[in-house]
Amino acid sequence: VRVIVISDIHGEVLLLKEVLQKVNFKDEDYLIINGDLCEKGRDSIGVVNYVMNLVKNNSNVHVVEGNCEVLVDALLNENPGLINYLCTRKHSIF
């Protein structure tokens, strides 16, 4: 059994799939995703949906919250400085 650790996917679902294919990820492997699923890339929603399916279908897949996910809390609390910053980001999911 292998433990595969990745992080900083940042909205690039095709690159995530490519990395998992290159390492020949199998159901018996443990996959640890160390956060930063979203932001900066072109398909944050695609990444979130893909990772949610991985977690749903494989008990060996675990996701740790990254600093980009922590942004959600600040948005929910309507932090105006953060909202203004994110409005300048071209591919922001927020």
User: Within the chain, what is the greatest distance between any pair of CA atoms?
Assistant: 46
What tens digit of pLDDT does each residue of 73-83 get? 677 677 777 77
**CATH assignment of 3-87, among 3.40.50.300, 3.20.20.80, 3.60.21.10, 3.20.20.70:** 3.60.21.10
Per-domain residue ranges of the chain: 3-87
Q: What is the pLDDT of residue 39?
A: 78
Residue 94 has pLDDT above 70, yes or no: no
Segment 22-66, tens digit of pLDDT:
999 999 999 999 988 887 888 988 998 999 999 999 999 999 987
Q: Whole-prediction pTM value?
A: 0.75
Which pLDDT value is given to residue 68?
Answer: 72
Which whole number is the average pLDDT over 67-75?
70
Distances (CA, A) of 5 to 45, 46, 51, 73, 94: 21, 20, 14, 25, 26
Triad 37, 82, 92: Cα angle to 5°: 40
